[in-house]
Amino acid sequence: MEYKPHIAEYKRGIVKQIVDLINQYPIMGAVNMENLPAQQLQIMRAKLRDKIVMVMTKRRLMKIAIEQCKEKKRGIEKIEEHLKGMPALIFTKENPFALFKNLKKSKSKAPAKAGQIAPRDIVVTAGPTPFAPGPIIGELAQAGIKSGVEGGKVAIREDSVVAIEGEKIKPKVAEILTRLNIKPMEVGLDLVATYEDGVIYTKKILDIDEDKFMHDLQKAASSAINLSVFAGYATKGNIKIMIGKAFNDAKAIGLERNIIDEGIIEELLGKAERSMLSLKNSANIQVQERAVVREIKKEEPKEETVDIEKKEEGALEKEKEIIKEEQKIEKEAKQKEKKEAPVEKEVEEAVKEEEEKELEKERIEEEKEIEELEKRKSEEAKKKAEEERKRQEELKRIEEERKRKEAEELKRRGEEQEKRKAEELKRIEEGQKEKEEIQKLEETKNETEKKVSEMVGRVRMHVGGKEPTAEMLVEETRAEGKKEIQKPAMREKTASELLGALQKKGTLRGEAATTIKPLEEKKKETDEEKWKKKEKELKEAEDLAQELVRKGTLRR
């Protein structure tokens, strides 16, 4: 019997749902929802409900559904490698680039946390910071940021990459970024890749800078027009420019080579007239004509002097009029030349002037914006510096309060410790006194034992025929024994009283008292045993003496 694994019905339903959506929608996207708050996810789903369908499930079920569709949708299995973090699938009929743009707009900035993956290279730019010199310099160095002190504040000396794309953000780096108010993370639906008609569009392809794209497009169009005009490739878009260029080039050649044509005849006449006037002025023709007139005047007879003078005056008047006319024609020619300048050049100059005005206007606006930004930054920096100063003062005050409390606590503990030491010393002294009392008791007992031993020795000596007599020794021993027995009892009572007094004073603790009491009882028992032993020895000595008397060996 072949074994078939049991698959839950709800899992089959999820896989079937994903397969149906893949077949229904032309575009499928892989989304990473890692670190996305639930509240923001609900808001985004509500906004995009009409545009996309989102499915969130286990990565394994997604892969099974994609594998089932790879025969109908070629290359769709390549999207499996883009199921990263906490994956989800979205389905839409919207253009992938428009979809990425909408999802990107819905994102918001967030501070970095330790352990998060850097979405890109995180760079800390050079510049001033609101921090005062102190431990912050060492903390910045630990994060790989070079810093120094400028104008009484910590400043970052050069741009520093603190986290590389794809790597985990270290705790120290996350802390520094938060303190610098740098928010490198983006909270939102992170579209990792999309699938459309067998093609996978990754995040880098979908993330287009629209301003840069439009600028590049305009530049490409301008370059294409210039290339087509200078290459002589006529199109609908450049034909007017090419005709104008050809007309201006032909006109310039005709004027340069003096080619007579209906279109440039006036310019040629003006050019010839200007050349004539220039030649006349350079050759000083007016002065030469006056000299000729004077020579003729000398050769003519004197009677015709009046008529000649009149003629000369008339010639001079005409000459003046001609000079005025020439000057007028030259002036008109210059004005006409100016007026007849190429239209394209005038247009270009006008456009250029307009562009310069626009650029100047933009530059002035940018300068104003920069000034406002600088002013705002300066105000923010001052505000932050003031806040930081207040915070530092508050921290300093809290630290001083804490140190003061610690000092008081240490002082109190020191006093308590000194008090305990004094009590301990007192207890040790009292214990020492008690020890001395016990030692005296021991010495008394030892002396008694010694005397008993001496007595026994004397008895034995007497048995050997030596003096003193047995009766005297027995009486003496009994008297001394009684005397010695009474003394320890008195001593023992004194020790008990001392212990009671110590306990009343509180010098001896409970444990010490309980420890001393068994020792005292043990000592008493030992003493009793010793006295019993001595009494036994005394009795034996007495019995021995009586036996010696009975035998007649010992005399009374």
pLDDT, tens only, 42-63: 878 888 888 889 999 999 999 9
Average pLDDT, the chain: 77
Q: Which helix (H) or strand (E) holds 148?
A: strand 147-150
pLDDT of residue 296: 41
Q: Which range among 206-215, 277-286, 419-428, 526-535 shows the weakest confidence by mean pLDDT?
A: 277-286
The answer to whether the beta carbons of residues 385 and 130 sit under 8 Å apart is yes
Helices 239-257 and 265-283 cross at an angle (nearest 10°) of: 40
pLDDT of residue 302: 44
pLDDT of residue 467: 56
Q: Which range among 131-135, 322-326, 384-388, 408-412 shows the weakest confidence by mean pLDDT?
A: 322-326
Give residue-wise pLDDT tens across range 9-44: 888 899 999 999 999 999 999 998 887 877 778 878
The amino acid present at 450, given as its one-letter code, is: K
In terms of average pLDDT, the best of 11-25, 254-268, 412-426, 474-488 is: 11-25
Those residues with Cβ within 8 angstroms of residue 362's Cβ, 6 or more apart along the chain or in another chain: none
Share of the chain above pLDDT 70, in %: 73
Q: Which range among 75-89, 403-417, 443-457, 503-517 shows the weakest confidence by mean pLDDT?
A: 503-517
The answer to whether the beta carbons of residues 326 and 275 sit under 8 Å apart is no
Q: What is the Cα–Cα distance from 189 to 44, expressed in whole angstroms? A: 8
DSSP string, 383-408: HHHHHHHHHHHHHHHHHHHHHHHHHH
* Selected residue with higher pLDDT from 192 and 513: 192
Q: H helices of 106-154, where?
A: 136-142
DSSP E strands in 18-128: the ranges are 27-32, 52-55, 87-92, 108-110, 122-124, 127-128
Q: What is the Cα–Cα distance from 443 to 449, expressed in whole angstroms? A: 10
Is residue 329 very low, low, confident or very high in pLDDT (cuts 50, 70, 90)? low
Those residues with Cβ within 8 angstroms of residue 381's Cβ, 6 or more apart along the chain or in another chain: 128, 130
Beta bridge partners, 91, equal 28, 53
3-state secondary structure of 202: strand
The answer to whether the beta carbons of residues 255 and 275 sit under 8 Å apart is no
Q: What is the Cα–Cα distance from 378 to 389, expressed in whole angstroms? A: 16
Query: What average pLDDT does the segment 98-125 reach?
Result: 84
Is residue 429 very low, low, confident or very high in pLDDT (cuts 50, 70, 90)? confident
Q: What is the Cα–Cα distance from 255 to 247, expressed in whole angstroms? A: 12
* Cα atoms in the 13 Å half-sphere on the side-chain side of 395: 6
pLDDT of residue 387: 87
The answer to whether the beta carbons of residues 161 and 123 sit under 8 Å apart is yes
pTM for the complete prediction?
0.38
DSSP letter at 169 equals P
DSSP E strands in 490-554: the ranges are none
Is residue 511 very low, low, confident or very high in pLDDT (cuts 50, 70, 90)? very low
Judge whether residue 362 has pLDDT over 60: yes
Give residue-wise pLDDT tens across range 264-280: 888 888 888 888 887 77
Q: What is the 3-state secondary structure (H, E, C) of 460-497?
A: HHHHCCCCCCHHHHHHHHHHHHHHHHHHHHHHHHHHHH
Q: Which helix (H) or strand (E) holds 155?
A: strand 153-156
Residues in the chain: 556
Q: Which range among 160-164, 399-403, 517-521, 538-542 shows the weakest confidence by mean pLDDT?
A: 517-521
pLDDT of residue 432: 82
